[in-house]
Amino acid sequence: MSSSKATNETLAPPPLQLDGRGMPEWASLADVVQWFLDYDRRVSAIKHPSVEELFQWKQEADKPKMKAVHLFGHAEDRLAVGIFQALAAHNTEAALHDWIKQLLCAIEESSKAKREISAAYNLETSAEAPAVRESAKISAQQERTIFLTSCWLETLCTAEARVLGWIYQQLYNRPFHPQNF
């Protein structure tokens, strides 16, 4: 493969193939999700070791609260399943639009909580300073849980919103904007 062809293939996600109902074909959707995991910086962050550690913490923390928790091998698996589930559950423009707006609200709320707790405890929040390790500086268990959950939700919802926003544009021939409806 020539380097120019490889470069051209990485500039944009693969085309989203639609079925007879105008919904994404699952194999095509998997290719799109994989492209974002490989080439989009904010989506590929889900594969970072510190995010993986955070995901494993969250999954373990949720076990006692849930009767039937599906355990995922990796954070990127959780993201991919969430994207597929979101498209199956929100299969109209208005429904998908509303879901993406909810993701944006979750990003805003989790980011705010993370900033406030980080400032209060002088926590490092860069990729080089894993959230799980930094959270040990927080004395109160409830605040530590809020901090870690906020870190996880900010990363997960950002990745999901990026992919679903692109899919929204492919499905409805216009970019997602919070005020579309």
What's the predicted TM-score (pTM) here? 0.91
Q: Residue 27, exposed/middle/buried by CB under 10 A (0-12, 13-18, 19+)?
A: exposed
Domains of the chain, residue spans: 24-66+74-81+93-172
| Radius of gyration (C-alpha) of the chain in whole angstroms | 18
Query: Could you read off the pLDDT tens digit of each residue along the chain, which spans 181 residues?
Result: 444 445 545 789 999 999 998 889 999 999 999 999 999 999 999 999 999 999 999 999 988 887 776 889 999 999 999 999 999 999 999 999 999 999 999 999 999 999 999 999 999 988 777 999 999 999 999 999 999 999 999 999 999 999 999 999 999 999 999 988 7
